[in-house]
Amino acid sequence: MERPHRSRVDQHAHRQLRYDEQTRTWSLYAADRNSRWFLYDNVGPAPDVSPLLAEISDDPTCIFWG
């Protein structure tokens, strides 16, 4: 039996951007080893996702890319 192709969401399930309508800001969340989400606090909420995407790309704590 063939394995189903993993979707982009599955491949990146260890990071998540969430939008807060009240504050109109985006926040970055990460999943722990038990797949529980927590607020990643090395970068604060931002009205634009650019700093959050930069943090994911730079990954100074090696939490997003290993």
CB distance 49 to 17 below 8 Å = yes
At residue 50's C-alpha, the angle toward residues 27 and 54, to 5°, is 90
Q: Residues 1-41: pLDDT tens digits? A: 444 444 344 455 689 999 999 999 999 999 998 889 999 99
User: What's the pTM value of the predicted model, to 2 decimals?
Assistant: 0.78
Tokens coding 53: 């995407």
Percent residues over pLDDT 90 in the chain: 68
